Amino acid sequence: MAASFNRAAERIEALVRANQSLLANASHELRSPLARLKMAVSMFDGADAAQRVRLQREIDTDIAELDALVEEVLLASRLDARSLDVAREPVDLGALAAEEASRVDATLVDGAPTLVVAGDERLLRRALRNLLENARRYGGGVIDVDLVRAATGAELRVCDRGPGVPEAMRERIFEPFFRLPGHAEHAGGVGLGLSLVRQIAHAHGGTARCAARAGGGSCFVLALPTAN
């Protein structure tokens, strides 16, 4: 009983630590869109019509960024806290991949096999969308999605022909808020997408990793144990 109490205490401590750093990072990230928003709003009164159009666009962008950040932080902290009790419903990965690929005009390689995982469809869709969004944003936009049966279950790969990720950074990009140099100013993301992808993979007993692609680019691989 003492041992299991210690394990529980350690787990809680780790959770608190993880949430503290998430909170600190998130607060820091909130500052720049908030500062821009403050600036744009304060300039609005004295602006002429053309400037107002520009300021309005800027304000909309900043609000969208704040929205995305808050949503990702909420999801990340929820997953941290309840990573053990995600839904366990049959999810057809082939159908999910086909749907999400067609949404962004990605090519689904081969006829997707029927691979079913026991999991949370909303979260798995979210993970795939994050990878597709990254491929579009950082990988040049020509995206191949591939679903294959592997020894350990299903492997869902999202591959692009972009600049790729230097080998030394392929683990770090999964850390919350870590972004490659030069990518921090890309609109839209806040650096939580891949850490969410990995959390979602782990919550399903799977893994997420980044690999170099033969011929250039990257492949992000979501490996999930299958029900069949």
CB 170 to Mg ion: min, Å: 15
Selection from 79, 158, 153 nearest residue 117 by Cα = 153
CB atoms within 10 A of CB 214: 8
What residue is closest to Mg ion based on CB? Answer: 193
Using an 8 Å Cβ cutoff, are 120 and 83 in contact? no
Of residues 6 through 65, those in contact with ligand ADP by CB under 6 A are none
- Could you give the CA distance from residue 173 to residue 81 in angstroms, rounded to a whole number? 22
Among the listed ranges 41-49, 98-106, 148-156, 186-194, the one in contact with ligand ADP (CB under 6 A) is 186-194
Residues 101-140 vs ligand ADP: string with x where CB under 6 A? -----------------------------x---xx--xx-
Among 79, 173, 208, 221, binds ligand ADP (CB under 6 A): 173
Selection from 112, 117, 221, 96 nearest residue 170 by Cα = 221
């787990």: which residue's tokens? Answer: 11
Among the listed ranges 25-33, 81-89, 98-106, 190-198, the one in contact with ligand ADP (CB under 6 A) is 190-198
Selection from 119, 141, 145, 136 nearest residue 200 by Cα = 119
How many residues bind ligand ADP (CB under 6 A)? The answer is: 20
Instruction: Output phi, psi for 132, to 5 deg.
Output: -65, -40
Among 189, 200, 204, 224, binds Mg ion (CB under 5 A): 189
Among 193, 201, 204, 219, binds Mg ion (CB under 5 A): 193
How many residues bind Mg ion (CB under 5 A)? The answer is: 3
Residues 148-167 vs ligand ADP: string with x where CB under 6 A? ------------x-x--x--
CB 26 to ligand ADP: min, Å: 13
């998130």: which residue's tokens? Answer: 26
Residue 156, by phi and psi: left (phi above 0), alpha (psi -120 to 50) or beta?
beta
Using an 8 Å Cβ cutoff, are 155 and 135 in contact? no
Among 179, 198, 204, 213, binds ligand ADP (CB under 6 A): 179
User: Is residue 194 a contact residue for ligand ADP (CB under 6 A)?
Assistant: yes
Using an 8 Å Cβ cutoff, are 177 and 25 in contact? yes
Instruction: Output phi, psi for 208, to 5 deg.
Output: -135, 135
User: Is residue 198 a contact residue for ligand ADP (CB under 6 A)?
Assistant: no
Q: Which of the listed partners (Mg ion, ligand ADP, none) does 203 bind, with a CB threshold of 5 to 8 Å by partner kind?
A: none
List residues near ligand ADP by CB under 6 A: 130, 134-135, 138-139, 160, 162, 165, 173, 179-180, 183, 189-195, 218
